[in-house]
A and B are shown apart, each in its own frame.
Chain A
């Protein structure tokens, strides 16, 4: 009732144009027909819902957050809120969504390219800090899967903004050869429950206790299984065997990757006294191979490094190419790898971005 009254009296402060839906029409079907959906049903953005969504942020509705690629249309807080309604967000998700959008619009995130690429990538959102708990995000069982409203809808809202405000639609500016289910949404929180673990946000220069979003150009999810190794050195080498396969085993210094370390794998490191930096270093070293083993043309396979690198050790990643985060349920010696966009060869032009979440 309160929302209805507010819409009646304050609906006039919304600036987005109004679209009339006939009485006999189903508003959800009308949204589909107008191309506002990613293929799943959306919540019709009525004045009541948009006003309720705007109550989740202190930002002014007419504030422009940025220009959304591919067609560089300005996105106001109000437009973000309308798309948040479509996606199914709750108002308290708005600060995280706005921070994610701001991160995505940083030039080094190259959102235009992420959208337009023929590759599988889209924005992957990792949330750190107290906001994750406050809005009920999942960092535990099935953290990368379905079933949690915040995880599901924040990522979806960001992709809908690109679709609806930026005009980025599959088959048009979005040229993905195959795409990936993660283009609907891939958003999760890091498990920060263990004080021995340095959260991703802290590793990336933010204060402990700050709420942040980290955006990564990637897709998901590749499984990593090791149920037998019990030493940190062996486990790192085991991870390495999996990580070198990203994209193609002979492609190097191209894609970054997110390693989602499960509790049971983390325990092997933790009990041996290893911490984040030890793990990151060991994973990097575990993916360095003799150039001769991955030379282009070997065994008739065209992919590979030039013959000139045959005599040198060749790392799979740049030194900052791996982002390690903790998430997942207590049982299962499985971790996950989220491969990054191959355009990472332009290391300085293309980087993950972390941004603080503000009210």
Chain B
């Protein structure tokens, strides 16, 4: 554990606020991002099926290996096409 001293006026909370969840997933394109770990695809297949049952639009993405960060082209594609992203982590 590393401890740092706050350089600010300490007017904001110590914990960074989480991004607020979407009020609704309707009309959004939900990205399903396979990070390349074993069986991530099984998890995402199931998730895709459940989302489709609710009439939601999904799009699949994957990076070649979990050992490296996603290639810029993949990130650009996600940013350009998806409104929300589920990043799968499943062994």
Contacts and interface: CB of A to CB of B under 8 A. Distances in A.
Interface of A: 14, 16-23, 25, 27, 30-31, 33-34, 36, 44-47, 50, 68, 71, 73-74, 78-79, 82-83, 86, 160, 164-167
Nearest to A68: B9
B7 A160 contact: yes
Interface of B: 1-11, 14, 16
A33 B16 contact: yes
Given A17-B14, A19-B14, A31 B9 contact: no
A46 B2 contact: yes
Contacts of B9: 68, 71, 73-74, 164-167
Given A30-B4, A45-B5, A46-B3, A17 B16 contact: no
Contact of A45 (B1, B4, B16): B4
Task: Give chain B's interface secondary structure class.
Answer: loop
19 contacts: A17-B5, A18-B5, A19-B5, A20-B3, A20-B14, A21-B1, A21-B3, A23-B1, A27-B4, A34-B16, A36-B7, A46-B5, A47-B3, A73-B9, A83-B7, A86-B7, A164-B7, A165-B7, A165-B9
B66 to A, nearest CB: 15
B2 A82 contact: no
Contacts of A86: 7
B1 to A, nearest CB: 6
Contact of A27 (B2, B7, B8): B2
Given A27-B2, A46-B2, 19 more contacts: A14-B5, A17-B5, A19-B3, A19-B5, A20-B3, A21-B1, A21-B2, A21-B4, A23-B1, A23-B2, A30-B4, A44-B2, A47-B5, A73-B9, A73-B11, A82-B6, A83-B7, A166-B9, A167-B9
